[in-house]
A and B are shown apart, each in its own frame.
Chain A
Amino acid sequence: MPLSDQEKHNSKAMETASQVTALVNQARAGSKSAFEQLVDLFHEDIFRMVYYRTRARMDAEDITQEIFLNAFKSLSKLKKVEQFRIWLFKIGLNRIRDFYRKKRVRSIFGAYSDDDNIDQSDTTNNDQPEALNNLMKHEFWKHIGLLLEKLSRMEREVFLLRFMDHLNIREISQVLKSSESSVKTHLYRALQKFRKESELINLLKEEVTSQ
């Protein structure tokens, strides 16, 4: 029986856990190359995590750069080296919060429009399979956006961290500095709302049958 994404992720996480701890210790002792290896290990995860919340590639790239720079500069403040990944997510969520704060200020002064930065790449491609793919992509993000709009801030964050970033309940509670029972409650409420998103669920069904 093939492993699910979650299972693959868990086994990968277990394999890399000790490697990560060793690299973090080396980086804390002053090794830049050890930190660069940590960047290689987590760059994709962190970039995706930011992209899910900004839906703009360039912004996601800039924020990802900031996250790693921040982590590099404040590595000595990390108390539990084994929680490096969780710590990156914490920094990430704070940077994303800052990004939206600045964006709100800029939009008040008319210097920023919400449509300016949403990823429009590839939408002008007329190649048929590519165009279909882009249409699916557009539909998927549109419906995810509609779902997330219906969730409270905490429900949204818990849902994203659990099903898109593949963190477990304990990890989510650490990232959000919240109790596990609170995380579960918000996740449950988010799932109740997800269940009602019939269009999104149909889209997932299509995708399941087409793959």
Chain B
Amino acid sequence: MNDRARIFSAINDALTPLQERAALPELDPAQWVCPSRLTEGGSWEDFRRNFEAVNGTFLTSFEALSRLLRDANATEGYADPGLLEELPETFRDGLTLHETIDRGSIDRYAFGITRAHAAIAESGTVILRDLDTPDRLAALAPWIHITLVAKEALFSNVTEAIDDLGEDPNTVWVTGPSKTADVEGILIEGVHGPGIQVCLPI
């Protein structure tokens, strides 16, 4: 008997003596929506509050984004080629933007600009899909990760976003900067992924 057959046969042997098996309970996702996180009706205002609570940086204009990059001395980075048209000339001035990530020199990218598929107001989460983010490294390797997300692409709660997962082989929800508390429980941001996570609705 191969391992697969052995496992299924053992599961069968374990379950056959059960006189009754637990039924699948009715699920009502409204039960696990958090009202205290959605005081503004699941709007961008809710997103902003919840995103900032996990140390996300919420911006509303490219001017603000330019200031953030200037303050961080970040002049060279990656931008998803599909997004170049969305970036105003004034924003691009003085920045070196690459349209691909060279794996041989990933430290040269101080920032990465990618498109988020959507955001979740309840949790302060941005949703990245392979379909919208050609190179996963762009959202991971640079210290500053900037997601541009369409203003209409906002889910109110986690279940709505789950229902939308669809066929993409890989979707990742990002809720704040990469972090750890492994050393004596002290919170440090920017472990492997970005230390600054920016969201700019467009």
The answer to whether A and B interact is no
Question: Interface of B with A (CB < 8 Å)?
Answer: none
Question: Interface of A with B (CB < 8 Å)?
Answer: none
